[in-house]
Chains A and B, each alone.
Chain A
Amino acid sequence: MIPAPIVDLVSLSPVIVLSLFAMGVLILDLFIGKDKTVLVFLSLLGLFLAAVSSLAKGTGPIYSFSNSYVVDTFSIFLTFVFAISSALAIMLSVSYNKEQGIKIGEYYSIILFCTVGMIVLASSADLIMIFLGIEIVSISLYILAGIRRTEKRSNEAALKYFLLGAFASGFLLYGMALVYGATGTTHLKDIASVLASSEFKTSPILLMGVVLLVVGFGFKVASVPFHMWAPDVYQGSATPVTAFMSVGPKAAVFAAFFRIFVEGIPNISDYWDTILCIVAVITMFVGNLGAIIQDNMKRLLAYSSISHAGYILVALIAKNSLGMSSLLFYMLAYAFMSFGAFAIIIILDKQNGDNLEVKDYAGLGFKHPVIAVCMSIFLLSLGGLPPFAGFVGKFYIFSAAVKEGYITLVVLGVLNSAISFYYYLRVIVYMYMKEPEGDYQVQPSLAPFSLLVIGIAVFGTIELGIFPGPVISWTMN
C-alpha cells in the first residue's frame, strides 16, 4: 500500500471554488441562449467567493501538499488583487462585447480559468506548480488576445503572443530544469536550504538556469529586451482584455518571479542582482521613451505598462520585506489606475477601433468634463503624482531600494518618473487645451457597468493615495 498524502483542501479553497465556477460557467453557456448576462453575474459571484475563501487559513505561512503550496499574506493579498482585477475586466466587457460583437460565452470562463492560474502562481512554492500556473495563465491569455476572431489585428496579436510566449515558456522550463538539476529538488524551500551551503553556489548549470529563468520571466512580464510583443498584443486585443492582461497576469508572474528569486535563490543573489538591475533600468527607459512617440492610446499605455514593470523589478531587487509589501501595494494601486485609464478608453472607443488616437481626446475636457477629470486622475496617478495611489506605490518601492543601498537605481527610477509625465501630461493637454479637428464627434457609451468600474477605480486611486495606511499594514503582516 502507498500511504495517501495529506490533502489540505482548506488552503486550496480559492482555487477549488474558482475552478468549479469556471467549469460551471463553461457548461452553463452551452445550455442558455444568446443572453449571457447570467454568466456575468455567476462569474462575479465566483470571484467574490474565491477572494473570501482565501481568508479561511489565517495569515501565517502554511505549507501544504508536501511544501508545494503555501498560504501567506503574499498569496492572500494577491488573490484579492486578482479577484478585483478579473471582476473589473468582466464588468468592462459586458457592454464592450455587445458593441464589438463578441458573442461567445467562453470569454467569461476563460477569464475565470486565467484567474485560477494566477492564484496558483501566487501561492505555489514549487517549480512545477509555478510552471503549470504560468501555462494556465498564458494559454488563457493567448485565447483572450484572439477573441475577436474576425478582426485581423486580434488574430495577429494572438499569433504573435502565442509564438513568442511558447518560446518564453520553453526558456522558463529549461531554466527550471537546470535549477532542479543543480539542486536536486523542485521545492523552493529546499532549493534555498541546498544553496545555503556554499558547495553548489558556483555550479555553472545553476547559473545558466538562473539566466534562463530571467529570460523566461522577463518575457512574461514584458521587460526589456523581451518586451517587443507587448505593444502589438496590447493594441490588437479587445480593450478589456488589454486592461486585464496588463494587471492580473502580470502581477501573478511577478509573484512567481519574486518567490523564486527572493525565496528560492536569494543565496546566489550576487549573480542575478546585477542582471536584474540592468534589466530594470533599461526597461524603465525603453518603456518611458517609447511611450513618448506613441499616438495610439493603447500603445501608449502598453509602453507605460512596460515602464511600470521596470519599477516593480526595483521592488524585487530590494529583496527585503519592505520590497515585498511595496510590490503588493503597487500591484493593487496599478490595478485601479490601469483599469481606470482603460475603462475611459473603452467608453470612448467606437467600433473598428476609432477614437483610439491621442488627438481624438482633444476637446474632451469641455464636452465631457467628468470623464476628462477621471482620465486626468488616472494618468497623473500612473505618472506618480501625489496625492494619488501611484505616488505612494512608487515612493514605497524606492524607499525599499534605498534601504538596501541601491541609490543609483532609485535616482534613475525617479528620473524616469519625471520623463513619464511628459506623455501623460500630453494627453491631458490635448483634453483641455486643444481644439478638436473638425466637429466634435466622440460620443461616450455610458453603460452602467463601465461607469461602476470607473467609480471603483477613481475611489481606489484616491483612497490608496490619501489613506494608504490600512492596506500597507495588511501587506506588512
Chain B
Amino acid sequence: MEQYIGASLMLLFATGIAGGMVLMTSLLGPKKSFADKDEPFECGESQIVSPHQRFSVKFYLVAVLFILFDIEAVFLFPWAILFKKLGMFGFIEMFLFLLILGVGLLYVWKKGGLDWE
C-alpha cells in the first residue's frame, strides 16, 4: 500500500490545483452578463438543436480502431519497463508484434479507414 501514498498525494495535488483555479476564478473574477454572452456559442453550429442528433457511423469505425490500437499500446508498458532486462529477445518479440500490427495499420491506411471521406 505504501507505494500508493506518493501517487495519491500527486492525485490530490493535481485535483486541488485544477479545482482551486476554477473556484478562484469564479470567486475573484468580475461578473458581467448580457444576452449575447449568455448564449452558448460554437462556431458554425446553430444554437438550438435537439440533443438527440444521430452520429455518423464513421465515428464507430474510429472508435473500434482506437480500441484496437489502445490494446496494442497497453502491451508496450510492461515491455518498456523490462526493456533492458529482456535484452535482444524482448526487442525481437515486440518488433514482431508491432510488425504484425503495422501490417494492420498499413491496410487500414491504404483502404482509407483513416479518411473522413
Contact = CB atoms under 8 A, between A and B. Distances in A.
Q: Note whether A and B contact each other (Cβ less than 8 A).
A: yes
B31 interface: no
A2 B82 contact: yes
Interface stretch (B8-16, B36-44, B83-91): B83-91
Contact of B106 (A2, A5, A19, A27): A27
Contacts of A30: 106-107, 110-111
Contacts of A26: 103, 107
A269 B117 CA distance: 57
Contacts of A1: 85, 87
Contact of A23 (B85, B89, B103, B111): B103
Interface string B81-117: 0100111111000000000100100110011000000
Contacts of B103: 23, 26-27
Interface centre among B88, B107, B110 (most CB of A within 10 A): B107
Contacts of B107: 26-27, 30
A4 interface: yes
Contacts of A27: 103, 106-107
B60 to A, nearest CB: 14
B71 to A, nearest CB: 13
Contacts of A2: 82, 85-87, 90
Contacts of B86: 2, 4
A6 to B, nearest CB: 11
Nearest to A19: B100
Nearest to B110: A30
A78 B4 CA distance: 51
A2 B89 CA distance: 10
Contacts, number: 24
- Size bracket of the B interface: 10 to 19
The main secondary structure of chain A at its interface with chain B is helix
Interface string B57-75: 0000000000000000000
A2 B84 CA distance: 9
A79 to B, nearest CB: 21
A245 to B, nearest CB: 23
A120 to B, nearest CB: 14
B87 A4 contact: yes
Nearest to A23: B103
A23 B100 contact: yes
A48 B87 CA distance: 36
A2 B87 CA distance: 8
A2 B88 CA distance: 11
A2 B103 CA distance: 29
Nearest to A26: B107
Contacts of A19: 100
A30 B110 CA distance: 7
A424 to B, nearest CB: 43
Contacts of B89: 4-5
A117 B88 CA distance: 28
A27 B89 CA distance: 27
Contacts of B88: 4
A388 to B, nearest CB: 43
B13 to A, nearest CB: 35
Nearest to B87: A1
Contacts of B100: 19, 23
Nearest to B100: A23
A4 B111 CA distance: 38
B2 to A, nearest CB: 26
Interface string A20-31: 000100110010
Nearest to A7: B89
B114 to A, nearest CB: 14
Contacts of B106: 27, 30
Interface in A153-185: none
A26 B107 CA distance: 7
Contacts of B85: 1-2
Contacts of A23: 100, 103
A19 B106 CA distance: 16
A149 B87 CA distance: 47
Contacts of B111: 30
Given A2-B87, A2-B90, 7 more contacts: A1-B87, A4-B87, A4-B88, A4-B89, A5-B89, A30-B106, A30-B111
22 contacts: A1-B85, A1-B87, A2-B85, A2-B86, A2-B87, A2-B90, A4-B86, A4-B88, A4-B89, A5-B89, A19-B100, A23-B100, A23-B103, A26-B103, A26-B107, A27-B103, A27-B106, A27-B107, A30-B106, A30-B107, A30-B110, A30-B111
The 10 closest A-B pairs by CB, nearest first: A4-B89, A30-B110, A23-B103, A2-B85, A2-B86, A26-B107, A1-B85, A1-B87, A27-B103, A27-B106
